[in-house]
Structure 1
């Protein structure tokens, strides 16, 4: 009897990162997106798994594998395994979930569980050991998501943004408006500061409106330098987005800020999105992080 032909499986996603940063939440969200998820797999089993999924062809078009320090000494093989997969496959992607030490400590204390590398020390000792082991993996990851400010629902939404089917797009650009007084978005790749424009907040007639209104949009775009900035900055971003595609960087975040994230940044984020949507191979999404906070 002839052996079944092995077909190339589709996308492969390696999910890794710091313990407590949300790997389980990410895995659940991926399953909801119809990814086939395998948890706590030793890196050495990645190749056999992909060969097995190849036997079923299109039945498993997208496979996500959670790999982390629970694999103990076997985890050290992840960089070599990922490198070998990149050499053999073009659709391998690595997602690294991270969070600040302070947030990770609080999360472990909340569930009253020790860190997997804590040994006889403190939770913070375990976190520091894990950071050392993961340094090379984080450096080579395709997507890094800092979950310090996310709850489980916000993280699930971010995973959907990153890994839902994006058609023929090779790169997804999220343009996110924000208010500097609420802090920089931790996962921003690029930051644009709109505080060089007059603030509509000081116009009492415009203060109640947001950057989504025609009144505020017209006011912002009429200011000196606004149109020049939009055209020049959008043009400068084109080679960046093209370079991201050549380097197989699948997602980036452009954070556009003003003081409160209500007026100028909202207008300019929308306007940049309209211009960058025409870049070949790029899908553009817009989010307004701080709209409605004041």
Structure 2
């Protein structure tokens, strides 16, 4: 149903690596699958949002599904709906008309759509009623029902940077490593970076370094759990030092694996490494 949360569901699938096509005419389902099958593994999961915006094309949805089955493809049909009251409230909140409203009332369009989709609803493999769900709850429900959470539910970018080049604009959390002695002032370490073992060993051996790592992980644990409950998918944790070459790089490399887990994937980005 229009307004029942198709966009939210599509976004969840896309965040988990699905190839999502919005407002696809049913007749294009088979060509789309055939294209995906020739992608040499680039597209392994395909989702199509099909709805009454396709107008006259939508009448062919059942025959399109039968064609897929005859060709050996299995499609799971997920039908999303909500009560009339919930749909009216949502359309009014965004100040948009219902796609089938025409010159009538919004409720007329909703009732017309229900009539059009009645058979499809009765044959759907999965039915999701979104009436009492906010966007975060709906995202979690789609995760649960469609099994999209096979990969990490949250991705963290641990980014090293140099304060002299500015704080990253996309940072959600910023930590300052300038409380540690700077390897720059040690001649034998100056040419190397925090990715080199000698520099990493020096940084992590300093008083407070390991304690800092443990405390950051403890601080982040409830935050990351909350991010997942709220449906947030990406977080950037920035770790800075003066030039972004030694201390911040070593700390970012040490922090990322400590934050990783079954539902949390991490990558390390060194924004300013090599700028000197």
TM-score (norm 2): 0.52
> How far has the Cα of 1:156 moved from its partner?
0.4
The runs of at least 4 consecutive aligned structure 1 residues that moved more than 3 Å come to none
| Residue of structure 1 in register with 2:212 after alignment | none
Distance 1:141 1:129, change over 3 A: same
Which of 77, 80, 90 is the equivalent residue of 2:63? 80
Q: What residue in structure 1 maps to residue 8 of structure 2? A: 25
Paired position in structure 1 for 2:137: 154
CA-CA distance at 1:164 after TM superposition: 2.6
SS in 1 for 2:41: helix
Q: Deviations over 1:169-188 (max 9, x none)?
A: xxxxxxxxxxxxxxxxxxxx
Q: Which runs of 5+ in 1 are unaligned?
A: 1-17, 168-294
Aligned partner (choices 59, 64, 74) of residue 42 of structure 2: 59
Q: 1:40 is matched with which residue: 23, 27, 36? A: 23
User: What is the aligned partner in structure 2 of residue 241 from structure 1?
Assistant: none
Does 1:135 find its partner at 2:118?
yes
CA drift of 1:91 comes to: 3.0
What does residue range 1-294 of structure 1 map to in structure 2 within 5 Å?
18-164=1-147
Structure 2 residue matching 1:92: 3-state secondary structure: coil
Q: CA deviation at 1:139?
A: 1.2
Structure 2 unaligned blocks of 5 or more = 151-276
Q: Give the number of the structure whose alpha-carbon radius of gyration is greater.
A: 2
Shift of 1:27: 0.3
Contact 1:115 1:126 survives alignment (8 Å)? yes
In structure 2, what is the Cα distance between the partners aligned to 1:49 and 1:27? Answer: 16
Rounded to whole Å, the distance in 2 between the matches of 1:105 and 1:65 is: 25
CA 1:57/1:91 → structure 2, altered by over 3 Å: closer, same or farther? Answer: farther
Contact 2:20 2:47 in 1 (8 A): yes
Aligned CA-pair RMSD:
1.4
Aligned length: 150
